Amino acid sequence: MTAEIIKINKRPSRYGGYFFLACFKDLEGKSYISYLYPKMRNFSRWKKVLNVGTMLSGLKTVKGRKNMIDADSRFQVVEE
């Protein structure tokens, strides 16, 4: 799936620290979210692209959660 990051909210985590709630919109206009924790190993990929307006391809949804992007997706930045 290809989608654009449209909103990023930094929120306190109940486990200490904080996390990012990233909101996405795909090419068909459907909305998705993902929870991104700086303490997780996959965040090293996300921190480089975590900007509003970034378009990403290769995103996958979490099984059983149609509107949630899997933070472990092997995405690529779509060049404009």
18-49 pLDDT, tens digit per residue, is: 999 999 999 999 999 999 999 999 999 999 99
Residue 65: exposure state from Cβ atoms within 10 A (0-12, 13-18, ≥19): exposed
- Burial of 17-44, coded b for 16+ CB within 10 Å and e otherwise, reads eebbebbbeeeeeeebebebbeeeeebe
Q: What is the pLDDT of residue 65?
A: 92
In the predicted model, is pLDDT for residue 11 greater than 90? yes
pLDDT band of 79, cuts 50, 70, 90:
confident
Strand pairing category for 18-26 and 3-12: antiparallel
Q: What is the pLDDT of residue 80?
A: 61
Tens digits of per-residue pLDDT, 50-66? 999 999 999 999 999 98
